[in-house]
Amino acid sequence: MIVVAASACVARAESPGCAGLKGIVLPASLIGLPTTGAAVSSARERHEGGVAYCRVMGKIYPVDPQADDIHFELNLPEVWNGKALQYGGGTFDGYIGKSDGLGRTAVGLKKEATPLMRGYATLGSDGGHHRSYFPLPDAINALNATFARNAEMQRNFAGEAVKKLHDVAVVLMKARYGAAPRRMYFIGGSTGGREALWMVQRYPADYDGVMAAYAAWDQAELDLQFVRTAQALYAPGGFLGYSKTRMIAHKVEERCDAKDGLRDGIISDPAGCDVPAESLRCADGKPHHGCLSDAQLHTLETFATEERTAVPLSNGVDSVPGYNVLAGASLTPSVGLLHFPLKNPVVVLNSFGYVIGDDVTRNFLMGGQNFNSRTLDINSDGPWHDELVKAAVEIDSTSVALEPFVAHGGKLILVHGTSDVVIPTNSTVDYYERVEARMGIEETKNFARLYLVPGMGHGDGRFDGGFDTVGTLDAWVDGGVAPVNLVVTDNNNGRTRPLCEWPAWPKYDGVGNVKSAASFTCVTVLRGRREALRGGAENNIQTAKK
C-alpha cells in the first residue's frame, strides 16, 4: 500500500508505472470536502482505438458509514497532452456508465476520436451512490432516488462528488505524470450540465473551460414542472396517447416547418412558430379523432406554458419555461404508454416527467414517505415549502455571480436542443439571460456562448447534433480563439448545419446541398428576447444575416 502524503510531490522520474498506482491511498486532507480518504482499487494497462492508457478504478470514502463510496474511473493516456477532461453524470447517476471518460462527450461527435484518443486524461464517477441502480437501460429501469434519504449521498449527487473526484484525480495525475494538468475541462449534459454549472458557481478556479448541455440547472423548479405536467396528463380525460401527440406534431410541422426555407421536419426558429393551442381543440370540447378535448387541450397547454412558484426557491428563480411542444418538440417520447401512473414508476409505461418528479418529491423532500405527488400544490407556499427551499439551495445551480470564474479566465459554453421535452430549451435561454443581466451583454460574450440546435432533443432526436466540444473549449481557453463559424453534425446521417450563436438560427439559402452547412446562413430575428422565445411579442421584427 502506498500512502500519498499531503505534502507529496512526485517527480516524473520517480512516478510509478500504471501498475504502481494500484493500492495508492489518499488521506482526507488532500480532498477539499469532507471524506475519510480515497484509494485506488485497480490500475491496468489498456489499448483502445490505437491509444495506450492506464485505466484507474477507485473509491472515495464517505464520512457517514451509512453512505455509499464514490466509485470513480480515471483514464491516463501514455502520451499525455497535459490536460484533463471530467465527464458529468446523467439522470440520478448511480453508476459510472457514460461518465467513464471512454466515449464521446455530451453533444460530441460519434465518428471522431474521443478525448482520450486525443491525449486528454479523462475521468468520471457514479455520483456517490450505486445501491439503487439496476443494470438495465433507463427505458425499462425503475429509476430510484432512494439514495437521497441519506444526507451525504444527496449532497454528493448535488455536486460534491464532482468536487471530490476533481481533487483526487489531480493528486493521482501528479503521482503518474509528476505534474497537475495544465488545463482542466468539464463537459456534461442534463444532470451533468447541472453539475458543470454547480462547479463553476461554487469552485470557479477548478476548471478552465466548461460546457453545460441541456442542463438541469434549476433542478428543484424543473421537478415541480414535471409534477405539474403529470398532474394534467393523469387528470380525468387528460392523457395524450400516441395518435394525439403525433397529430399535434404534424399540425405544427405543417404550419411552421417551411419557415426556415426547407421542409425537412425541423423547425429552426421556434420563436417564429405561432401555432395557437386553441386551434387544435375539438369544436365541442369532447374527445374526437384528429383534435383535442378540453382536458387534452389543458394538458398540452400545461406542457407549453411556464410553471411558477409562489415564492422564489433559490437565487430569485421562481419559474421554469414551458416546452416547445407548439413549435417542433414532440411529446410522443415523454408521455408514456399508460393512461394512469403505476405505483412504482417505470419509464415508457409512465410519463418520464412523472417518474422523475414523483421520485424526487418522495425521496428528496419527504424522506421516502408514501407521498402522492399528484396531490402536491406546487403553486402555494404549502407544508413542504421549507424542505423544497432547502433542496433547491443545495442542488440547484442558479447563481449568476460568475465574476470569480471570469477572473480565473474560465470559458463557458451552453448548448440546448430546440426539441427537448425533458428540460425546456428556454430554461437554458433563461439562465444565459440572467447572466447577461448581471454581467452585461458584451462582458458575457467575452467568456460565454449559447447555442441552440434545431431538431435536437435531450441528447438525441431528429437531428442528433454533435461537434468538437473539448476542441472548441480548448481552442478558446488555451489558444485564445473564441468560437466562430462552428458547424454541427447530425450523428444520425452526417448532414451538417451551422451551429448558430443564440439568438441566431440556421436558414436554408434556397440553393445548394440541403445536407451541407454551407447552404445555410445564421439569421438573427430581433425581438424582445425572452417574450419572443416563449412565443409572444411579434412586433419590431427585423432580419439580419451574420
Please give the DSSP secondary-structure letter assigned to residue 104. Answer: P
Q: State the pTM of this model.
A: 0.92
Cβ pair 88, 186 in contact under 8 A: yes
* Residues ≥6 apart with Cβ < 8 Å to 284: none
Residue of 132, 190, 293, 351 with catalytic role: 190
Q: How many CB atoms lie within 10 A of CB 391?
A: 23
The domain segmentation of the chain, as residue ranges, is: 1-80+89-97+122-169, 221-395, 496-545
Residue of 99, 359, 458, 468 with catalytic role: 458
d(CA 227, CA 221): 10
Indicate if 458 belongs to the active site: yes
Q: Which amino acid is at 493?
A: N
All three cell numbers of 268, joined, read: 429552426
pLDDT tens, position by position, for the chain (546 residues)? Answer: 566 654 443 333 357 889 999 999 999 999 999 999 999 999 999 998 889 999 999 999 999 999 999 999 999 999 999 999 999 998 888 888 889 999 999 999 998 999 999 999 999 999 999 854 444 444 333 467 888 889 999 999 999 999 999 999 999 999 999 999 999 999 999 999 999 999 999 999 999 999 999 999 999 899 999 999 999 999 999 999 999 999 999 999 999 999 999 999 999 999 999 899 999 999 999 999 999 999 999 999 999 999 888 888 889 898 999 999 999 999 998 898 888 887 766 767 889 888 888 888 888 877 777 777 888 877 765 677 788 888 888 899 999 999 999 999 999 999 999 999 999 999 999 999 999 999 999 999 999 999 999 999 999 999 999 999 999 999 999 999 999 999 999 999 999 999 999 999 999 999 999 999 999 999 997 655 444 444 433 332 333 333
Going across the sheet that includes 465-466, the strands are 465-466, 487-490, 496-498
- In the numeric block, the cell 502506498 is attached to 2
- In the numeric block, the cell 471512454 is attached to 102
d(CA 68, CA 60): 9
Residue of 100, 420, 474, 490 with catalytic role: 420
d(CA 224, CA 227): 5
User: CB-side exposure of 13: number of CA atoms within 13 Å?
Assistant: 0
Identify the sign of the CA torsion 86, 87, 92, 93.
Answer: negative
d(CA 508, CA 530): 25
Please give the DSSP secondary-structure letter assigned to residue 5. Answer: P
Cβ pair 345, 142 in contact under 8 A: yes
User: CB-side exposure of 101: number of CA atoms within 13 Å?
Assistant: 29
Length of the chain: 546
Cα 268 → chain centroid: 21
Secondary structure (DSSP) of 179-198: S--SEEEEEEETHHHHHHHH
Indicate if 420 belongs to the active site: yes
Whether the bond between 503 and the residue before it is cis, its omega within 30 degrees of 0, is: yes
Residue 440, Ramachandran bin (φ over 0: left; ψ between -120 and 50: alpha; else beta): left
